[in-house]
Amino acid sequence: MGVRLMVVDDHRLLAEALASALKLRGHRVLAAAAPAAGAAELVISRAPEVCLLGTATPAEPGTFDPVVRIKRERPQVAVVVLGPVPSPRGIAAAFAAGASGYVRHDERIEGVERALMKARAGEAAVAPALLQGAFSELLNPAAQPDDEGQRLLQMLTPREVEVLVRVADGEDTRLIAAGMGIAPSTARTHVQRVLMKLGVGSRLEAAALAARTGLLDRAGPIPADTPGSPEPES
């Protein structure tokens, strides 16, 4: 016996193609397309056995709010999410919202049909390969890219960070000393320490490295120059 279902997706061509394919396989399709914002209202008003709900962003906050509302107002409707290759967070969010299954956009129509039948029967409708991939990623998470800017920033003292910002702004030793209220020799010492910690050989290289890694954005604006006597020469 065919499933009485709805295909809800804001990509009309995809929705209509799926609806046509499922009709040819003996299923009763009540609607073929709707914007995401109106998905819940449409499903609640028509009350199908199964809703095939498309999404392009399974990991985005609020993506599965329509699922929550459908299950709250029509708990008998089984919702199967149709989306891209999900992250573990995406799969978890879908099921936490009340979905009965998750099917990839590139799944064959036979796989979509199996998921719909399982969902109508009250079973979890998700391909074993998807679950295996999700568990594998959860158990062996990919390493996050190294935040070089943050790492370099942590190597410098607050005063050295200010020196680096001034170097990047093109200030020479005299201007650095005047702006920070320190002696020129102290300013030169700070500059040399900054170069050494960053592993570069010139002020130009230091400025380029700071800009490339986003260190300057993290450092924030330098304090306003305050008049006063410079520190004594060390």
- Condensed to tens digits (0 to 9), the pLDDT of residues 11-34 reads 888 888 899 999 999 999 987 766
| Residue 68 confidence (pLDDT) | 94
pLDDT digits (tens, 9 = 90+) for 152-190: 888 889 899 999 999 988 899 999 999 999 999 999 999
Pick the closest to residue 96 from 121, 131, 71 (CA basis). Answer: 71
Exposure string (b/e) for 60-89, b if CB count within 10 Å is 16 or more? eeebbebbbbbbeebeebbbbbbbeebebe
pLDDT of residue 212: 81
Residues in the chain, pLDDT under 70: 33-37, 86, 131-147, 220-234
69 neighbors 29 (Cβ within 8 angstroms): no
What predicted TM-score, i.e. pTM, was given to this entire model?
0.57
Residue 121: the pLDDT is: 94
Residue 232: the pLDDT is 47
Rounded to whole angstroms, how far apart are CA atoms 76 and 46? 12
Asked if 74 contacts 44 with a C-beta cutoff of 8 angstroms, the reply is: yes
